[in-house]
């Protein structure tokens, strides 16, 4: 998708900047993303309740310094992409001596690269969305992006490839489209086990549970 059509999509939705966490939700289930977009309440998950005080900042910095020469640390830093119509707060954006950015998002469960391209792909796309927004906000190129597993006490590097950036753009376009239309997608091709776990199953227009 071209930059001009992405910008047009955001403009048609009233120029509203949507929260980046909706990108992750979209790749879990687009209907769930829509219901959260329009304000349906949902019980918070353990990952959602992971507060900044629970993130071991010193440990994250220690692990990063093994890989990068850090110049400045921006914790809970607001980032936005007006091109995509997305905004959020990255857990950490680190500026490096070489003039690049390192973006880190903390997650509660253990993580692996294999699962990030399967069951947990939505976490990789969310991280990529923060990275794209950080590049646009700070005007510097991305040097690296990591998910930090609190339970596993490790950094898992995610290569923010052109393909991953396209997934971010697709989610942004679809989220703004749903907001503009005022309705969820016509179908939700998600595994049935996700429907059984979903707190929206009682109001889901597709009636799977």
Q: Please say whether the beta carbons of 85 and 10 come within 8 A.
A: yes
Place of tokens 């609190």: 150
pLDDT digits (tens, 9 = 90+) for 101-147: 999 999 988 887 777 777 788 999 999 999 999 999 999 999 999 99
Q: Specify the DSSP class assigned to residue 54.
A: G
C-alpha–C-alpha distance, residues 201 and 125, integer Å: 24
Domains in the chain, ordered, with CATH? Answer: 3-197 (3.90.320)
pLDDT digits (tens, 9 = 90+) for 7-49: 444 434 457 899 999 999 999 889 889 988 887 555 555 555 5
Alpha-carbon distances, residue 162 vs 54, 108, 148, 193 (angstroms): 32, 27, 22, 30
Helix ranges (DSSP H) in 19-139 = 21-28, 30-37, 57-65, 113-116, 121-138
| pLDDT band with cut points at 50, 70 and 90 for residue 183 | confident
pLDDT at 5 over 60: no
Query: In the prediction, which pLDDT does 44 show?
Result: 53
Structure pTM?
0.85
């Amino acid at each position: 998708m071209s930059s001009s059509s992405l910008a047009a999509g955001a403009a048609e939705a009233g120029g509203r900047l949507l929260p980046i966490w909706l990108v992750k939700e979209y790749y879990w289930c687009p209907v769930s993303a829509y219901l959260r977009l329009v304000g349906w309440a949902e019980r918070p998950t353990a990952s959602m309740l992971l507060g900044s005080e629970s993130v071991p900042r010193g440990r994250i910095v220690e692990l990063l310094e093994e890989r990068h020469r850090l110049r400045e640390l921006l914790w809970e830093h607001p980032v936005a992409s007006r091109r995509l119509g997305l905004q959020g707060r990255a857990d950490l954006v680190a500026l490096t001596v070489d003039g690049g950015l390192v973006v880190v998002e903390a997650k509660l469960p253990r993580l692996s690269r294999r699962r990030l391209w399967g069951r947990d792909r939505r976490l990789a796309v969310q991280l990529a969305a923060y990275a794209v927004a950080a590049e646009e906000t700070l005007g510097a190129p991305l040097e690296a992006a990591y998910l930090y597993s609190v339970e596993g006490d490790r950094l898992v590097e995610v290569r923010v490839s052109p393909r991953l950036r396209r997934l971010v753009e697709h989610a942004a376009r679809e989220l703004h489209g749903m907001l503009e239309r005022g309705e969820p997608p016509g179908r939700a091709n998600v595994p049935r086990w996700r429907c059984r776990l979903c707190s929206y199953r009682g109001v889901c227009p597709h009636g799977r549970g």
